[in-house]
Amino acid sequence: MAVLFSGEEFVRLKADLVLYKCALNNMATRVETLVEEFSNLHESNPIEHVKKRLKSPERIAEKLHKRGCELTAENARTRLTDIAGMRVICSYARDIFSIAKVLSNQPDMKILKQRDYVGTPKASGYRSYHIILEVPIYLTDAVKRLPVEVQIRTQAMDFWAALEHKVRYRFNDEMPDSIIRSLYECSEGIAKLDKEMLNIQDIADLTRQVAPKIHH
Ligand code: 0O2
């Protein structure tokens, strides 16, 4: 059965969601700025694409309910840090860390939490770098600081996460052992692939530095 906020709490939550949306847009602008810089002022852009999403009231209610919290806007604000979420998909695994560093070094951002599931993947095989950053938003009479969860991973890791999420949902969180094992093996394969692709890229870069480009 669906869990829902009461009328009054729903109105409060909707007002808060406006602020989360502003924080998310603020973060998106920062990432777009990096993309512009990398694409136009540097040799290459490591960011393939960006996705952003605001958690719906239904999903917020579900998550609070799952954690045994009362469905209030205040609990959503104080207990959840992923109401505003962004995914930054990059070309190579090493780019993940440089992007996380560049974002978290911005002087008006505060790091609330970091999880390195690239260095230490989850038991499922999930790989991604999570960083929760507090972003300031400037209102008419106040500055609000809101958390935005940024998940940074390669295209291959993203492909894996999307499939695993879909399969998990299909099996209602009770996946057969054989599928759990296959997904884990795929995740290992993906890590190997990411590494090999990076090696090829490094060799290509090195070759470009020492030899002029061949024109046919
Ligand atoms: P949704 O709908 O994806 O947003 P938190 O839930 O963030 O408060 P925790 O335990 O620190 O608490 O979260 P964690 O482990 O950093 O994971 C947060 C998000 O990462 C999840 O959000 C997923 O999006 C993703 N994630 C984590 N583990 C896995 C995994 O094994 N497989 C896949 N496909 N994704 C994963 P939610 O809350 O599940 O919801």
Does 158 score more than 60 pLDDT? Answer: yes
pLDDT at 3: 86
Residue 216 pLDDT > 60, yes or no?
A: no
pLDDT level of residue 202 (50, 70, 90 thresholds) = confident
Q: Which amino acid is at 129?
A: Y
Please give the Cα distance from 93 to 49 (Å, whole number).
Answer: 14
The answer, as to whether pTM is greater than 0.75, is yes
> Which atom of ligand 1 is least distant from the CA of 130?
16
DSSP-assigned beta bridge partners for residue 154:
90
Neighbours of 158 (CB within 10 A): 22
Q: What is the pLDDT of residue 37?
A: 95
Say whether pLDDT at 76 is over 80. Answer: yes
Residue of the nearest CA to atom 6 in ligand 1?
A: 82
Specify the range with the lowest mean pLDDT, choosing from 66-75, 128-137, 183-192, 204-213.
204-213
CA of 55 to the centre of ligand 1 (A): 13
From the CA of 161, give the closest atom in ligand 1: 34
Q: Tokens for 59?
A: 């999903």
Query: What is the structure's pLDDT at 212?
Result: 61
**pLDDT-based confidence at 165, cuts 50/70/90?**
very high
Q: How far is CA 123 from its chain centroid?
A: 19
Residue with the smallest CA separation from ligand 1 atom 29 is: 126
Query: Band of the pLDDT at 201, cuts 50, 70, 90?
Result: confident
Q: Write out the DSSP string of 64-110.
A: HHHTT----HHHHHHH-S-SEEEEEEESSHHHHHHHHHHHHTSTT-E
pLDDT tens digits, one per residue of 90-118: 999 999 999 999 999 999 999 999 999 99
Query: Tell me: the pLDDT tens digits for 27-54?
Result: 999 999 999 999 999 888 999 999 999 9
95 class by beta-carbon count within 10 Å (0-12 exposed, 13-18 middle, 19+ buried): buried
Q: Which residues lie with the beta carbon below 6 Å from any ligand 1 atom? A: 81-82, 85, 115, 122, 124, 126, 130, 161, 164-165
The atom of ligand 1 lying closest to the CA of 132 is 7
Per-residue confidence band for 204, with pLDDT thresholds at 50, 70 and 90: confident
User: What percent of the chain clears pLDDT 70, i.e. is strictly above it?
Assistant: 96
Nearest CA to ligand 1 atom 17: 130
What does pLDDT average to over the chain? 94
